[in-house]
Structure formats: structure tokens, C-alpha cells
């Protein structure tokens, strides 16, 4: 394993095993980008319209993910 791969693996472990808030933020940002791409490809909307449309649902999902992850961590301890 290269030094870069080991570093990436350690960063991933810190994110996944760390704060529910950090994990929810990473999830939400990724979800927003995916939603923008999907809206744009499926509907042909402009980038601005796709971004506006793709912000609401991922943010709600981010809060839901945070709630689920923090609850999961409480039951794991």
C-alpha cells in the first residue's frame, strides 16, 4: 500500500468513525452534487435551476442522516 493510499484510508476511517455531524456534512455535500447532476441530465434544466432544486431534499436528508447516525452510535456503545 502506498503512502497516499494509507493516508486516504486513515482519513476515511476518521470520517466514518468520527463525528456524526462531519459525516452528515460530507454526505449532504455529495448528495447535493449528485442531485444537481441528476436534475440537469434528466430535465435539461440550467445549472442554476438544477442547483436550486437540488438543495432542499439533500439538506433534509442530511439532517435525517445525522439523526440516524448519532442514534446508531449511542446504541453501539
Kindly indicate the confidence band of residue 18, based on its pLDDT and cuts at 50, 70 and 90: low
CA dist 61 and 49 (Å) reads 20
| Residue with more model confidence, 68 or 8 | 68
* Residue 16 scores a pLDDT above 80: no
The residue to which cell 439533500 is assigned = 58
Non-local CB neighbours of 62 within 8 Å, separated by 6+ positions: 24, 25, 27, 28, 31
Banded pLDDT at 42 (limits 50, 70, 90): very high
pLDDT score of 11: 74
Amino acid at each position: 500500500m502506498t503512502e497516499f493510499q494509507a493516508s486516504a484510508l486513515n482519513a476515511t476511517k476518521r470520517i466514518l468513525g468520527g463525528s456524526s455531524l462531519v459525516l452528515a456534512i460530507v454526505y449532504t455535500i455529495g448528495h447535493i452534487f449528485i442531485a444537481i447532476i441528476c436534475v440537469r441530465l434528466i430535465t435539461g434544466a440550467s445549472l442554476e435551476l438544477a442547483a436550486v432544486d437540488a438543495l432542499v431534499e439533500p439538506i433534509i436528508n442530511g439532517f435525517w442522516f445525522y439523526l440516524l447516525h448519532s442514534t446508531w452510535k449511542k446504541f453501539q456503545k
